[in-house]
Amino acid sequence: MVMIGAHYVDAQGLSNATLAKFDHPIAIPGFVLPAGSYEFRQATDSVVQVWDMQTGKLITSLITNAAQQPEFAERQEFEFVRPDADRPVELKAWFRDGTSLGHEFIYQDHVAHVAGE
């Protein structure tokens, strides 16, 4: 797996959410988000909601695992992985406001739907 830097994203932190603009399709569990603007909102300690900023509609609510960035690592709001060259980059974790504690997304082996279709 290759780690992809946060250059895919232009993020603006909010109190319980992060606004993100992706310039490439990004996979989240069960969906592929086309390039566009999205809000990642912490609904509970273990649930993250993903909202489409263009339509204002909720795309999905995802159960997550707790994630932690190493103390010595540079803080980032999103962590990505590329599973292979034929699939879109996957969003591995979201760290609200670049803190060390965040949400790790849980992936299953099934077909993802394109958000908005």
- Rounded to a whole number of angstroms, the CA Rg of the chain reads 13
For position 13, what pLDDT does the model report?
Answer: 56
Residues of the chain with pLDDT under 50: 1-9
| Domain containing residue 24 | 2-108
| 114 within domain boundaries | no
Does the residue 34 lie in any domain?
Answer: yes
Residue 40: per-residue pLDDT: 93
Residue 96, in any domain of the structure: yes
Distance CA 40, CA 26 (A): 13
Q: Are 30 and 39 in contact (CB under 8 A)?
A: no
Do the domain assignments include residue 50? yes
pLDDT at residue 37 in the model: 92
Q: Is residue 115 part of a domain?
A: no
* Structural domain count, the chain: 1
CB 31 within 8 A of CB 15: no
pLDDT at residue 116, rounded to an integer: 64
**45, 46, 79, 108, 110 from 9: Cα distances, Å:** 24, 23, 10, 24, 25
d(CA 81, CA 5): 9
How much is the pTM? 0.80
In a domain, 24, yes or no: yes
In a domain, 113, yes or no: no
The pLDDT score that the predictor gives to residue 71 is: 74
Q: Is residue 116 part of a domain?
A: no
Instruction: State residue 76's pLDDT score.
Output: 74
